[in-house]
Structure 1
Amino acid sequence: MPSPAARRPARPVQEGELARLVLEHYGLPQAQVTLLREGDNHVFRVDGARGNTYVLRLHTAGQHSVRALHSELEWLDVLARTAQLPVPQPVRSVSGAWTVTLSFPEADSPPQLLCSLLSWLEGTPLPEGQEFTPQQAELVGQLLAQLHLQSDRFQASRGVERPRYDNAYFLTCAQLLQRNLATTVDARRLEHLIESLTRLLQKLGPLADLPGGFGLIHADPHPGNFLQQERGLALIDFDRGGWGPFLLDLAHADLALDSAGRAALIAGYTGVRSLPPGQRQLLKALRVLAAVENLSFLSQRPHELPFVLESLPVLESEMVVLSDR
Structure 2
Amino acid sequence: MPSSVLRADRVHEIERLAQRALERYPPALRGSAALICLSENATLRIDTRSGSRYVLRLHRQGYHSPAAIESELAWLRALDEAGLEVPRPLDGVDGSALQLLELANGSIQPVVMFEWIEGDEPHPDEDLESSFIRLGELNARLHAHSRGWTPPAGFLRPRWDHAGTVGADALWGDWRCAPWLSAAGREVIEQCIVTISARLTDYGEGPQRFGLIHADPRLANLLIDGASTRIIDFDDCGHGWFLHDLASALSFHEHHPKARRWIDAWLEGYARIGRLEDDDLAALPSLIVQRRLQLLAWTGTRRGTDPVTALGPGWVAETEALCRRYLGRGDPLKAP
Aligned identity (percent) is 27
Residue 103 of structure 2 aligns to which amino acid in structure 1? Answer: F
**CA displacement at 1:119 relative to structure 2:** 0.8
Q: Distance in 2 between matches of 1:267 and 1:216?
A: 22
Structural mapping, 1:187-266, within 5 Å: 190-205=186-201, 209=205, 212-254=208-250, 255=254, 256=256, 257-266=258-267
SS in 1 for 2:57: strand
Q: Does 1:63 align with 2:71?
A: no
- Change in CA separation of 1:136 and 1:191 when aligned onto 2, cut-off 3 Å: same
Query: Is 1:48–2:48 an aligned residue pair?
Result: yes
Which residue of structure 2 lines up, in the alignment, with residue 164 of structure 1? 159
In 2, Cα distance between equivalents of 1:23 and 1:159: 29
Matched, 1:286 2:287: yes
Which residue pairs with 2:85 in the alignment?
86
Cα distance change, pair 296–18 in 1 and its aligned pair in 2 (3 A)? closer
After TM superposition, the structure 1 stretch with the greater mean CA deviation from structure 2, 46-55 or 82-91, is: 46-55
Structure 2 partner of 1:6: none
Code of the residue aligned with 1:101 in structure 2: it is L
Q: Is the 8 A contact 1:134 1:261 kept in 2?
A: yes
How far is the alpha carbon of 1:271 from its aligned partner?
Answer: 0.7
Which residue is equivalent to 2:73? 73
Q: Provide the rounded CA distance (Å) in 2 between the counterparts of 1:29 and 1:285.
A: 45
In the alignment, is the contact (CA less than 8 A) between 1:212 and 1:275 conserved in 2?
no
- 5 Å matches for 1:269-280? 269-280=270-281
Deviations 1:166-198 (A, max 9, x none): 1212223598222335x8522x75245224312
Counterparts of 1:14 and 1:121 in 2: how far apart (Å)?
22
Which amino acid in structure 1 is aligned with residue 132 of structure 2? A
User: Which residue number corresponds to residue 267 of structure 1?
Assistant: 268
- CA 1:45 to 1:11, structure 2 compared with 1: closer, same or farther past 3 Å? closer
- Give the secondary structure class of the aligned counterpart of 1:219: coil
Q: Any idea what the Cα deviations from partners look like across 1:215-270, whole Å, max 9, x if unmatched? A: 21111111221111234111111111111111111122244444333222111101
8 Å contact kept, 2:196–2:290: no
Aligned AA (1:73): L
Q: Aligned letter for 2:154?
A: G
1:141 to 136, 140, 143: 136
Q: In the alignment, which of 287, 300, 324 is matched to residue 316 of structure 1?
A: 324
Report what 2:150 is aligned to. 155
Mapped to 1, the partners of 2:109 and 2:319 lie a distance apart of 37
Unpaired segments of 5 or more residues in structure 1? 1-9
Q: Relative to 1, partners in 2 of residues 1:248 and 1:39: Cα closer, same or farther, differing over 3 Å?
A: closer
Give the TM-score normalised by the residue count of structure 1. 0.84
**Secondary structure, aligned partner of 1:209:** coil
Q: What amino acid is the match of 2:87? A: P
Deviation at 1:67, TM superposition (A): 0.3
- For 2:248 and 2:29, the matched residues in 1 are separated by 41
Q: Distance in 2 between matches of 1:180 and 1:226?
A: 26
Alpha-carbon displacement from aligned partner over 1:95-134 (angstroms, at most 9, x marks no partner): 12121111123x3xx522110011100112213x547622
Matches within 5 A, 1:118-137: 118-127=114-123, 129-130=124-125, 133-137=128-132
Structure 1 pair 180–231 and aligned structure 2 pair: CA distance change class (3 A): closer
TM superposition score normalised by structure 2: 0.81
Which residue pairs with 1:301 in the alignment? 303
Check whether the contact 2:54–2:114 (CA below 8 A) recurs between aligned residues.
yes
User: 1:61–1:316: structure 2 CA closer, same or farther, 3 Å change rule?
Assistant: farther
1:112 matched to which residue of 2?
Answer: 108
CA distance in structure 2 between the partners assigned to 1:258 and 1:89 by the alignment: 31
Pair 1:26–1:245, CA change in 2 (3 A): farther
